[in-house]
Amino acid sequence: MDIQFVAQIDASADVVAFPVRKGEAASLEALLGAAAAQARFEGAAGSVAETAAIDGGKARRLLLVGIGDGTIHDLERGGAALTARLQTSGVTTAHVDFASAGDCDEDDVLAFAMGARLRNWRLDRYRTRLPDNAKPTLTNLVIASPAGDLSARWGSYSAVADGVALTQTLVAEPPNILYPESFVERCQHLSDLGVEIEVLDERQMKALGMGALLGVAQGSTRPPRLLAMRWNGGKEGEAPVVFVGKGVTFDTGGISIKPAAGMDMMKWDMGGAGAVAGAMKAIAGRKAKANVVGVVGLVENMPDGNAMRPGDIVTTMSGQTVEVLNTDAEGRLVLCDAISWVQKSYDPKVIVDLATLTGAMVISLGHEYAGMFANDDELADQLQAAGEASGNKLWRFPLSPAYDKLIDSPIADMKNVGPREGGSITAAQFLKRYVGEGVAWAHLDIAGMAWSDKDGPVWAKGATGYGVRLLDRFIADNFEG
């Protein structure tokens, strides 16, 4: 979708949308006021009402778009609602009149545009018989506001939206299309933005002693990969912030196989890796003044005759040993070796990992928040604030030696699962054992957030792109001058 910003509305526009704050519908002019009354439209964020008018013999489509209390999130929701209403309507260009929206500044207009852009993502490449009336038509949005041309500022917003779209595409792709090698290929274009790409293959990871990650991958014919994406936008020599993503491109559970019902959805078990890739695209696309590295461990977890067995013991890159009691608790085995590698390779002061790690997190928080675990209060506060600002919300959970005891193994350094109780916490305690002294670390369990079975504020049913805006905002607020 191409978004343009102008100083005033085009008087000849066929389709015009009017943003309306909550409680201000009663003050609209007669025609729009009547449309609002008939639809019981009160300006709630994301609500839409419409009518038609004849102007000089020409029919015009007029829409009222609710922007609630005018918060950034309400404005994004309003922009998304407009896209949702018009995306397959046959309309190609819509105009938005912010001049009549009352007290709105540049940030308000840009937030509305961001919501409209985010909601426009779709994946239609496999739908060969899509009816014409279901095909997207909306290609242009022209937004008029007293602020006039905002294209210079829009560039950064657009870069973040591009990152979200990359994540959504990666998460939504089927597992026969997206697997470790093809995931790497999908990220090669980041080099055009200035991102340095490094890829480790199976031989290199074996030489490094990544027995946990390789153990997960050994049941699949798809070879594993470790992908590192480095953006050097900050001071030369300054330690980077490192993001680590779980990239299980398909998860059968391995020998501890999952039930058949719903297993198809395990294509999005690489949602953490997808978020890291999208965040790197956003950060590089807007030329962030920070040093950031994104690393993703990419495997497919399959149950063939060479697969890891329950009861196996693997040796991680750190030298610690793990008794694998459940091969479906594989994400932490991928992450632990990736976390060890990034510390050896980049000597970071901050590590944030993201993973669709535990079903227990969905039981705890549903689909409203991702869970956060951190060994540093300042880092936790920074991430919490970035989550609120970006709409990718987080809720902090505890870490404690009392939980740590639950994953002690009688024959190895640790086991990869604890009891059913506190399952998300024991997974975090497992990862914490691979974080070195003096490194601020946070683990984000995004199991309930990477995919949605219903439309959200700025996404349609399916891949949400969760994590990209969170990580980008975290960098912008805390690591750029």
The set of catalytic residues is 258, 332
Written as six digits, the tokens of 433 are 């054992």
Contact 145, 5 (CB under 8 A): yes
CA–CA gap between residue 67 and residue 170 (Å, rounded): 31
Contact 24, 46 (CB under 8 A): no
The residue among 236, 193, 224 whose CA lies nearest residue 308 is 224
Q: How far apart are the first and last CA of the chain?
A: 31
**DSSP code of residue 302:** -
- N residues, the chain: 481
Written as six digits, the tokens of 57 are 């013999």
CA–CA gap between residue 201 and residue 226 (Å, rounded): 7
Cβ partners under 8 Å of residue 91, min gap 6: 14, 15, 61, 137, 138
CA–CA gap between residue 430 and residue 434 (Å, rounded): 8
CA–CA gap between residue 10 and residue 142 (Å, rounded): 9
Map 110-157 to HEC letters: HHHHHHHHHCCCCCCCCCCCCCHHHCCCCCEEEEECCCCCCHHHHHHH
Cα–Cα distances in angstroms (integers) from residue 174 to residues 100, 171, 249, 265, in the given order: 45, 8, 9, 9
**C-alpha torsion angle, residues 171, 173, 177, 181 (rounded to 10):** -20
Strand partners, 441: 351
Strand, coil or helix: 309: coil
Chain-centre distance for alpha carbon 270:
11
Strand partners, 342: none
